[in-house]
Amino acid sequence: MGGPNVMRQQFANTLLQVGQEDPRLVVLVGDISHFILQPFAQACPGRYYNVGICEPTILSMAAGLAKTGLSPVVHTIAPFIVERSFEQIKLDFCYQQLGGTLITIGSAFDYSNLGCTHHCYDDFALLKSLPNTQIVYPASPEEFDALFRQTYRSGKVTLVRMPSHTHGQMFRHDDIRFGTGVRLTDGSDLTLIAIGPQLRHALAARDALGERGWQTDILYLHTIHPIDTELIRTSVRKTRHVLVIEEHTWTGGVGSEVLRATRGIPRVQHAFLHLPEAFIRDYGSYEEHCERLGFSRHGIIKTVEREFRASPALVAGSRT
Amino acid sequence: MMTMMNNDLRRKIIDVVYRGKDGHIPSAFSIVDIVALLYREYLKVDPRHPQDPNRDYFILSKGHGCVALYVVLAERGFLSQRDLDAFCTSGGILGEHPDCTKVPGVEASTGSLGHGFPFTVGLALGLRILGMTNRIFVLVGDGECHEGTVWEAANVANNLQLGNLCVIVDWNGSAAQLMPRDDLPAKWRAFGWKTQVVDGHSAPELGAAFDRIVFQPAGTPTVVIARTVKGKGVPMLEGHGVWHHRIPTAEEHQQMREVLA
C-alpha cells in the first residue's frame, strides 16, 4: 500500500520546500516526526519547534503565531489535536477568525495496535462542527503536496488527515484541486464514493461488481469539507445507487454529507460502509482491521449485494 | 502601602454593569488599577491605528474581568461612551467576555480560562520570529492558574526564553477558596520565571515592577504577581461572596456610587 513512510516523507519534503519559499511558514510538533523534519529545521532556522507533550498549548500557541501573520502548522497524533485540543481549535483559531494547518498522523485506526487512545475516527465530525474550517484527506504524496500548497494560507483552519497508507493511484499534480472530487471510472448503475486509502478497495471491487451487473462510477474525494456536492449529484442522478466507504463513524462522516447532497433526487438507494459506533478494541495490522471491518474488496461486494439486490429500483426495472 | 484608587473608572464599571444588567464587578475592580496603569503609562498603543504592527500587546486572559478593560479602552479613545452604553445589548460590540473581532484594542477573545496565556506565548514567539520588539503583557487570574494549560504555557515560555513576555497574575484569593495551598510565587519560581510580588492596587509598586523588566527577544520571562482584593474599593463588594456575578439594584448602585464619589 505504498509503504507506511511514503506519506510522512512527502509531508517532510513539502514542508521543506514550502518553508524555503515562504518565510512565514512555522512548524510546531508535539514530539513526533522530529527526525524526519530536521531538513526543515536546518533550512528554516527559528521556524521549527518540537514544543513538548502539551498539545492544547501547542494549538493555542499556533493561533498566537497566526495572530502575527505567520502561517502555523501543527503536527502530532490525530486524537491529541482534534479531540484533546478541540476547545483550542474552536476558541483560539475559529472564534478569532485565525487560520492554520493541522496535520494529523494516525488516521482513524492506523495505529492499529495502540488502542483507542491513539485512534481517531470522529475528526471529520468535530472539525465540520466549527465555522471557518476545511478538511482534506490526501492518500497519495502528490495530493498531500498539492492540497497543502493550496490551503495553508487560506485564512481557515485546515485539517489535513494524513494516512499511513496510500490508495496507489497516481494523480497529476495539476489535476488536484481543493474542493473538487475525482471521478475515476464511468458507470451507469452504482456510485462508489471512496475516501483515503479505501479507494484501493473500491477499485479492486469494480470488475467483480461489473460481473454482477453493476457498472460503477467510482468517485474519490480528497476534500472532505467542503464536499463536492455537484460531482456527487451528477453521478447519483445517473446511477440511483450509492455506496460510501469511509474510515470514520457514521456521525458527521461523508455518508451523512452524501445523504444531504442527494436530497431531492428521486429513487436513490444509499448504503454505507463506515466504522461502528463503538471503540475498536481489537489489535492486529491495519490490513487486518480493514478486513474485519468490511473495508475490503469482498466487503464492498457483499455490502452492494446485501443492500441493493432487492432495491425497488431494480424491481421496477428502472436501472438502465 | 500606597494605594491607587481609580474611583472614576470604578464608577464607570458599575454604571456599565448596572445599565447592561450583566457583568462581573468584583473581578473588574480587582484588576482595574493594573489595566489602567498599563494603558496610561506603559503600553505603546494608538487608538487611531489599533493594528499598528509596532504596538505593544495586552491580553486579558481572565476575560470575565473585561469591563475594567472596556472602561480603560474608552479612556484611551478606543471605545466611545456609546459603545459602553450598549454593553450586553443586541447590536452592541461589548459583551461579558471580549471579542477581538468586534472590539478595537482587544487583542484576543477570551472567557474560557487557560486560553489567553498560551495564545500569548505563541504571539510572543511569532513576534520574535518576525524580528519585532513589541512588548507583550498578559493578565491571568489566580483561579485561572488552576487550569493545566497555564502551567504548560509557563513551562514552554521559559524553555523558549520569551523575554518579550510579562505575565501578571491577579492574586485576589479566588484560587484559595477551592485550593488553599496557594503559594503562587513559589510555583512560578519553580517554573523558572523571574518573579515579583507587588500590591496590585499600588501604582508605585506596579510601576516599579514593570520598570524592572528588561524586555528582550530572548531572555527569561517575568511574572508580576499582584496581590489584589476582589471588589476592591467598595466594602460591600470586597471578598468572595455573592457579588461575583450579581447585578446591583438601583439602590445598591447608588450606594456604590456614593462610596466611590
Interface list for A 5-64 with B (CB within 8 A): 26, 46-47, 49, 51-52, 54, 56-57, 60-64
Residues B13 and B29: beta-carbon distance below 8 Å: yes
Mean pLDDT of chain A, nearest integer: 95
At A293-317, the pLDDT tens digits run: 999 999 999 999 999 975 444 544 4
At A20-58, the pLDDT tens digits run: 999 999 999 999 999 999 999 999 999 999 999 999 999
**In-domain check, residue B92:** yes
**In-domain check, residue B47:** yes
| B51 at A interface, C-beta within 8 A | no
**In-domain check, residue B1:** no
Which of B115, B123, B153 lies at the smallest CB-CB distance from A67? Answer: B123
Could you check whether the bond before residue A226 is cis, i.e. omega within 30 degrees of 0? yes
| B152 at A interface, C-beta within 8 A | yes
Residues A212 and A319: beta-carbon distance below 8 Å: no
Q: What is the pLDDT of residue A310?
A: 54
Is the pLDDT assigned to residue B1 strictly greater than 50?
A: no
Please indicate whether, in this complex, the C-beta atoms of B126 and A92 are within 8 angstroms of each other: no
* Three cell numbers written together for B121: 506565548
Q: Which domains does chain A have, with CATH numbers?
A: 6-162 (3.40.50.970), 182-315 (3.40.50.920)
Q: What is the pLDDT of residue A74?
A: 98
* Three cell numbers written together for B214: 528588561
Q: What is the predicted ipTM?
A: 0.96
How many other β-carbons are positioned within 10 Å of the β-carbon of residue A208?
14
Interface list for A 132-171 with B (CB within 8 A): none
**In-domain check, residue B32:** yes
Chain B residues whose CB is inside 8 A of the A92 CB are 115, 118-119
Residue A186 has what DSSP assignment?
Answer: -
Over residues A220-240, the mean pLDDT reads 98
What band does B4 get if pLDDT is binned at 50, 70 and 90? Answer: low
Nearest CA distance, A92 vs chain B (angstrom)? 7
Residue contacts between A and B (CB atoms, under 8 Å)? 94
At B124-181, the pLDDT tens digits run: 999 999 999 999 999 999 999 999 999 999 999 999 999 999 999 999 999 999 999 9
Is the pLDDT assigned to residue A1 strictly greater than 60?
A: no
Over residues A118-124, the mean pLDDT reads 97
Residues A237 and A264: beta-carbon distance below 8 Å: no
Q: What's the number of domains chain B is made of?
A: 1
Please indicate whether, in this complex, the C-beta atoms of B156 and A51 are within 8 angstroms of each other: yes
Chain A residues whose CB is inside 8 A of the B153 CB are 57, 60-61
At A232-287, the pLDDT tens digits run: 999 999 999 999 999 999 999 999 999 999 999 999 999 999 999 999 999 999 99
**In-domain check, residue B144:** yes
Q: What is the pLDDT of residue A211?
A: 94
What band does B2 get if pLDDT is binned at 50, 70 and 90? Answer: very low
Nearest CA distance, B102 vs chain A (angstrom)? 10
Q: What is the DSSP string of chain B?
A: ------HHHHHHHHHHHHHHT---HHHHHHHHHHHHHIIIII----TT-TT-TT--EEEESSGGGHHHHHHHHHHTTSS-HHHHHTTTSTT-S--SS--TTTSTT--S---STTSHHHHHHHHHHHHHHTT----EEEEEETTGGGSHHHHHHHHHHHHTTBTTEEEEEEESSHHHHH-----HHHHHHHTT-EEEEEETT-HHHHHHHHHH----SBS--EEEEEE--TTTT-GGG-SSSGGGGPPPPHHHHHHHHHHT-
Q: Which residue in B115, B144, B164, B167 has the most chain A C-beta atoms within 10 A of its own C-beta, making it the best mutation to test that interface?
A: B115
Please indicate whether, in this complex, the C-beta atoms of B101 and A97 are within 8 angstroms of each other: yes
Chain B residues whose CB is inside 8 A of the A87 CB are 112, 115
Chain A residues whose CB is inside 8 A of the B138 CB are none
Q: Please state, in angstroms and as integers, the Cα–Cα distance from residue B73 to each residue in A94, B78, B169, B252, following that order.
A: 25, 5, 20, 26
**In-domain check, residue B2:** no
Domain encompassing residue B66? 7-259
At B191-218, the pLDDT tens digits run: 999 999 999 999 999 999 999 999 999 9
Is the pLDDT assigned to residue A230 strictly greater than 70?
A: yes
At A149-173, the pLDDT tens digits run: 999 999 999 999 999 999 999 999 9
At B34-59, the pLDDT tens digits run: 999 999 999 999 999 999 999 999 99
Q: What is the CATH number of the domain that holds B122?
A: 3.40.50.970
